[in-house]
Structure 1
Amino acid sequence: MNDKKEVIFNYGRELFSSKGFKDINVSDITKKAGIGVGTFYNYYSSKEKLFMEIFLEENVKLKKSILESIDLNGDPLKVIKELMFMNISGINSNPILREWYNRDVFSKIEQHYNEENGIKYVNFVYNSFAELIKKWQVEGKMRNDIDCEIIMAIFTAVINIDTHKDEIGIQYFPQILDYLAEFIIKGLIDCNQ
């Protein structure tokens, strides 16, 4: 039984990667997988649900790869900048994750997924990074007068600004993101506040 779900998942990933979310429908996936449309619905209630499962898995793979490739004991400024820029680079190089930038598509997918599942996001990366921030706060490497949750929200805001690079000005964007990250991180590691 799980074999069919895996087949649907794998062919869905292949098709979404090559053609994008909007240009694929359930019958494309079932035809490629060699199953009936009804079988698809035994495992996934919608194309959106399948896409979100694939998206979340790809996101976890990226974050895990990033965490494994960075020396988390390094200087907080360097570690955080590396994390942020590797995340953006990883999103840009993965066609599934790149759908994040297509706000019309992604907001619909996300809304549909949340209605079916509640807010069940994979947050092992968030928890790992939050623990790192708490460690830095205890060690005096990061301000401890700001709650860890707020610091995490600040980093999320900086990463999400990437979805507005056209409005900011694409020609300035990489430098602006670099400066914003640097200013925020320096403000957070200035423990004399």
Structure 2
Amino acid sequence: MHQEMSRREKKKLQTKKTISEIALKLFSTKGLEETTIAEIMEKAALGTGTFYNYFETKEAILKYCLAERIDCAKQTCEDIQTSALNATEKLHQILKVISKTHDENRQMIGLYVKFNRNPDKVEQKPPHGARFEEILTSIIIEGQAKNEFRNDIPPEIINEMFSGILKSTLNSNLGFSFMDNISYKHSLLLEGVINKKG
């Protein structure tokens, strides 16, 4: 009986993934507003009413898909956090993971941001945030404990600087790739803007 439930749960999860993948393809070619639930379900070879067993709205698909990818990035960041790398290298690796996640999901993030800028929508929070800040803070504290980072600056301030770098890169209109943009800013934060006279 338990195995049967497990198989049923797997089937439900697979159906949810199928619906979301088909929806994302339609969103990217037609746009979120122009895509109908009936179209999504027709391509999934399922009845329109079945949609509501899995999602409340089309926008909920975006949130689900983004959350999945962010959970995957979060897991990678947690693995980096507990690795043997030094704190500076951990921060660099985490920025690379975030950049890769952003680059691979640029279109979906764009749709999500556009949807959340709609003044009619009450919920304006992204489906992530706090866990990344916890990971960053723990790495900063570790770096301070090992004298890699300055101890006269509160870890919250350093964390806020890194968070600020991420936000400014996400909203940047400069012609740099996300990875180059964030790498330059990361370098500036760690090494400063002044040339060291050797």
TM-score, normalising length from structure 2? Answer: 0.67
Separation in structure 2 between the aligned mates of residue 161 and residue 42 of structure 1, nearest angstrom: 38
The residue type paired with residue 105 of structure 1 is: K
Point out which structure has higher relative CO (alpha carbons under 8 A, 6+ apart): 1
Larger radius of gyration: 2
Alignment length (residue pairs) = 181
Q: Does structure 2 conserve the Cα–Cα contact (< 8 Å) formed by 1:77 and 1:182?
A: no
Separation in structure 2 between the aligned mates of residue 86 and residue 4 of structure 1, nearest angstrom: 30
Separation in structure 1 between the aligned mates of residue 20 and residue 127 of structure 2, nearest angstrom: 21
Q: Which residue of 2 aligns with 1:134?
A: 141
Q: Which residue of 2 aligns with 1:90?
A: 101
The gaps in structure 1 that reach 5 residues or longer are 188-193
TM-superposed deviation, 1:134: 2.0
The correspondence for 1:185, drawn from 181, 190, 194, is 190
The residue type paired with residue 146 of structure 2 is: E
Q: 1:90 to 1:182 in 2, by over 3 A?
A: same
Q: Which residue of 1 aligns with 2:58?
A: 47
Task: Say yes or no: does 1:152 pair with 2:163.
Answer: no
Task: Say yes or no: does 1:15 pair with 2:61.
Answer: no
Q: What whole-Å deviation, never above 9, does each CA across 1:65-124 have from its counterpart, x for those lacking one?
A: 355468844343333223213321232124xx5422457525348x84837xx8863644
Q: Which residue of 2 aligns with 1:59?
A: 70
Q: 1:63 to 1:46 in 2, by over 3 A?
A: same
Q: Does structure 2 conserve the Cα–Cα contact (< 8 Å) formed by 1:16 and 1:24?
A: no
User: Identity over the aligned pairs, expressed in percent?
Assistant: 17
TM-superposed deviation, 1:172: 8.9
Bigger fraction of residues in helix: 1
The gaps in structure 2 that reach 5 residues or longer are 1-7, 193-198
Q: Does structure 1 conserve the Cα–Cα contact (< 8 Å) formed by 2:26 and 2:40?
A: no
Q: What whole-Å deviation, never above 9, does each CA across 1:3-25 have from its counterpart, x for those lacking one?
A: 44641333213431564262543
Runs of 4+ in 1 over 6 A off after TM superposition: none
The correspondence for 2:175, drawn from 151, 170, 192, is 170
TM-superposed deviation, 1:40: 1.7
**CA-atom RMSD, angstroms?**
3.7
TM-score, normalising length from structure 1? Answer: 0.69
Separation in structure 2 between the aligned mates of residue 10 and residue 38 of structure 1, nearest angstrom: 16
The correspondence for 1:99, drawn from 75, 87, 108, is 108
